[in-house]
Amino acid sequence: MIAKPDLPQGTLDLLILKVVALGPIHGYAIAQRLQQVSRDVVQVPQGSLYPALHRLENRSLLAADWKDTETGREAKFYRLTRKGRAQLEAEAASWQRLTEAVGLILKLSAGGAQ
């Protein structure tokens, strides 16, 4: 079994915002989606998912409504606020820059060793 890497600090919020940006979604589905999309690489610790959701809701990046699911049960659906969308764009861009920079550095050091 391949060891799953830990989620880098602060990226959970970004991932949640991205998933929620696709449309209103409840907590359990967010966990499922994150796992499926990342092909099981990203294993979200479910225990920290809900505090993160509540924190984002508290910061008005997410809003929530109670709605019925397709199975007819009532669940708390999260959606992105305008503020959340702006935050997502800003964070995604900065993540992009960071990964590119890290990638460049890694290539450079690989070239240096040869």
Partner 1 sequence: MNWWQRLSRRNKLEEQLERELRFHLDQHAADLIANGYHPAEAHRQARLALGGKEQVKEDCRDARGTRWLEDLWQDFRYAVRTLRQRPGFTAVGALTLALGIGASTAIFSAVNPILFEPLPYPHAGRIMMIWDTYEGVRCDVTFHTYRELAARSRSFEAMAVMEVWRPAMTGAAQPERFDGQSVSASYFRVLGVAPALGRDFQQADDRFEGPHVTILSDALWRRRFDGDSGIVGRQITLDGDLYTVIGVMPPGFDNVLAPSAELWAPLQYDAGNIADQESAEWGHHLHMVGRLRPGVGIDQARRELNAIALAPVPESPRPPWAALKYGLIVNSLQGEITRFIKPVLLAFLGAVTLVLLIASVNVTNLLLARGAQRSGEFAMRAALGAGRARLIRQMLTESLLLAALGGALGMVVTEFGTGALVTLSPTGLPRAGAIAVNGAVFAFAFGITAFAGLLVGLVPAWHAARVDLVTGIQQGSRRTAGGRQLVRRALVVSEVALAIVLLVSAGLLFRSLERLFAVPPGFDTSHLLTMQTQYSGHRYDDGNARRRFLTQALEAVRPVPGVAAAAFTSLLPLSGDQYGVYGTRFEDGRSYDTFRYASTPGYCQTMGIPLRRGRLLDQHDTAGAPRAVMISESLARRQFPGKDPVGQRLHLGPLNGPWYTIVGVVDDVKQGSLADRQGDGAYITPAQSWFADDAMSLVIRTHGDAAALAPAIKKAIWSVDKDLPIVRVATMGALLATSESQRRFAMIVFEAFALVALVLAATGIYGVLSGNVTERTREIGVRSALGASRGDILTLVVRQGMQLTGLGVAIGLIGAAAASRALITLLFGVSPLDPVTYFGVVTLAAAVSALACWVPAWRAARVDPSVTLRAE
**Contact between residue 110 and residue 57 where contact means Cβ atoms under 8 Å apart:** no
Single out the residue of 77, 75, 88 nearest to residue 11, CA to CA: 88
Span of 5-13, 40-48, 95-103, 105-113 interacting with partner 1 by CB under 8 A: 40-48
Confirm or reject binding of residue 51 to partner 1 (CB under 8 A): yes
Which residues, 6+ apart, have CB-to-CB distance to 53 below 8 Å?
Answer: 16, 27, 30, 62, 78
Chain residues 16-35 in contact with partner 1, contact rule CB under 8 A: 26-28, 31
Sign of the Cα torsion 91, 47, 38, 34 reads: negative
Nearer of residues 69 and 109 to partner 1, judged by Cβ: 69
**Rounded least distance, CB 72 to partner 1, Å:** 12
Binding-site ranges for partner 1 (CB under 8 A) = 26-28, 31, 45-48, 50-52, 54-55, 58, 66, 73-76
